[in-house]
Amino acid sequence: MAAAPAFEELLAEGEAVPVEGWDFSWFEGRATEGRPSWGYSRLLAERMAGAAAALDIQTGGGEVLAQIPHPPPVLAATESWPPNVEIARRNLAPLGASVAEAGDLADLPFPAESFDLVVSRHPTEVRWHEIARVLRPGGTYLSQQVGAGTNRELYEFMMGPQPTGPERIPQAAFIEGAASAAGLVVVDLREQALRVVFNDVAAVVYFLRKVLWTVPGFTVDGYRDRLARLHDRIQAEGPFVAHSRRVLIEARKP
C-alpha cells in the first residue's frame, strides 16, 4: 500500500490548483459538501425557461448558469473578478449571454426595469435596491445565499474563537428585512445547515484560497502552523467536519 502523502506535499498540491472560475470538481474524493434540499439549479432552470429577460449577478465563471437548458431571449450576467469575466464569456457564449464586469458593490450597469428575472448564487454582497431597480414590475429575484456562521468550525480552527454577534453574511431574518426594505415582497424563504467534510489538508488549502472570505488574508506561509495541526488531526482522527448554512430567497417586485 502506498504511503499517505506527506504534509509538505499536500500543501504544495493545494497551492498549485488554479482558483479561477467556480468549478469545484477538483475536490472529488477530497472534500464533500451537502446540497440544499430545494435544488437551486432546478429552480434556476425552471425560472429561466419562463423568463423574457434575465440577469445573473456575480456569475463567477458562469458554470451554474451555463447548465440551464432553455435560456431566455435576453440573458445577461455580471462578474467582478477579471479572470472570471473571460471564463464566463466563454462558458455563456453558447447561450447568447452578455457578461459585464461590475464590482460587487457597484451599481448594476443596466437601465431601470430591464429584467423580469434576476438571480444570484452565493453573492458576496447584495445590492437590494439595485436589484429592485432593474426588475420590471411583477419581476422575480431568486437567490441562494451563504448564511452566517458558515464553516465556523474551520475558520475558528484557523483563527481562534470569533465574535458571535452580527456577522458579515446575514441570516434569513436579516435577508427578509433587507429585501422588504428595498420594496420586494418575499414569497419563499428557507434555510438549511449542511455538512462539509475535508479529507486532507490539500483540500483545506485549496478551499481557503478559493473561498477567500472564510479566512481573510489566508496564505499557506501565514497559517503553516495551524495547517500542520489540522493535518495531524486528520491523520489521527479522520476527516475534518464543518457545517455550511444556505438560505434560499425568492422575492417579487410589486
CATH of the domain at 173: 3.40.50.150
**Is 177 domain-assigned?**
yes
Structural domain of residue 17, as residue ranges? 7-159+169-252
**Is 223 domain-assigned?**
yes
Locate all alpha helices (DSSP H) within the chain, ordered by sequence.
Answer: 7-16, 40-49, 82-92, 128-134, 152-159, 172-181, 201-210, 224-237
145: left (phi over 0), alpha (psi -120 to 50) or beta: beta
Q: What backbone torsions phi and psi does residue 197 show, to the nearest 5 degrees?
A: -125, 125
Element at 54 (helix H, strand E): strand 53-56
Burial tier of 86 (Cβ tally within 10 Å: 0-12, 13-18, 19+): middle
Please name the residues in contact with 166: beta carbons below 8 A apart, sequence gap of 6 or more. none
From 35, 81, 46, select the one nearest 62 (Cα to Cα): 81
CA angle 66, 67, 68 (to 5 degrees): 95
**Is 239 domain-assigned?**
yes
Per-residue pLDDT of the chain in tens (254 residues, 90 and over written 9): 445 679 999 999 999 999 887 778 899 999 999 999 999 999 999 999 999 999 999 999 999 999 999 999 999 999 999 999 999 999 999 999 999 999 999 999 999 999 999 999 999 999 999 999 999 999 999 999 998 889 999 999 999 999 875 554 457 888 999 999 999 999 999 999 999 999 999 999 999 999 989 999 999 999 999 999 999 999 999 999 999 999 999 999 99
Return the pLDDT at 3: 53
Cell numbers placing 14? 493545494
**Is 1 domain-assigned?**
no
2: left (phi over 0), alpha (psi -120 to 50) or beta: beta
Return the pLDDT at 2: 46
Return the pLDDT at 224: 97
Beta bridge pairs of residue 140: 117, 252
**Is 2 domain-assigned?**
no
**Is 226 domain-assigned?**
yes
Cell numbers placing 112? 431601470
**Is 192 domain-assigned?**
yes
Return the pLDDT at 20: 83
**Overall number of domains in the chain:** 1
**Is 247 domain-assigned?**
yes
Return the pLDDT at 1: 41
